[in-house]
Amino acid sequence: VKRAVLAPPPRTTPTLAIFVKNHTRTQGMDDEVDGIRDRLAAEVSGLGLSVMDSAEIGAAFNRYKITTREEREGLVSGLFTGGSATRVAQMIGADYILVASVVGASSVRRVAGDRQVIVYTLRLSTKVLDATTGASVYGKNWSGKRPTPVQDKVEQDEALVHFNDLADDWVAEVGEELADSAKG
């Protein structure tokens, strides 16, 4: 034998891939998606799951070199346009896929007593899909509100600051719930 190659040890820790989508038209929210994914990955990393880095996921997709144009021309079937969670999970080597969606981000001015407040609202949804069956093993809709007093001589706060604070609250809550559900 001139050269021996050791096989990687069998994986005992389930692998999770995280995808975050923005369904809002809130200015600047697209730029926040990576940060939300990173915070969510950090929160769930300690739950007995191995969380895939976004670079790993990108490299897995690049190995396949498949484009939506090829799908439209019938060369391959439904990976990006209607592809299944099981197919995506097979491609990237994940056991579970966590899909989080920013469903809404809004602010409204209200009067509370004799003070004006701006109420910031962030709505998110979370699903965890089993890579083998594609079935949802966890799901939740979440909504958080943050009333903020309007200061007379201070400019209105940047809305994304409040949305990020609300996202931190959501990440902590989702992490706790996933930890509880992972035990079962």
The pLDDT score that the predictor gives to residue 79 is: 47
Both tokens assigned to 184: 């079962």
Burial of 74 (0-12, 13-18, 19+ CB in 10 A): exposed
Residue in 103, 91, 96, 85 with CA at minimum distance from that of residue 18: 96
pLDDT tens, residue by residue, 96-126 = 999 999 999 999 999 888 888 999 999 999 9
The pLDDT score that the predictor gives to residue 156 is: 55
Q: Identity (one letter) of the amino acid at 24? A: T
SS3 label, residue 152: coil
pTM for the complete prediction? Answer: 0.77
pLDDT-derived band at 176 (thresholds 50, 70, 90) equals confident
The pLDDT score that the predictor gives to residue 124 is: 97
pLDDT tens, residue by residue, 31-76 = 999 999 999 998 888 777 788 877 677 666 666 555 555 555 655 5
Cβ proximity of 119 and 110 under 8 Å: yes
pLDDT over 60 at 155, yes or no: no
Mean pLDDT for the stretch of residues 170-178: 90
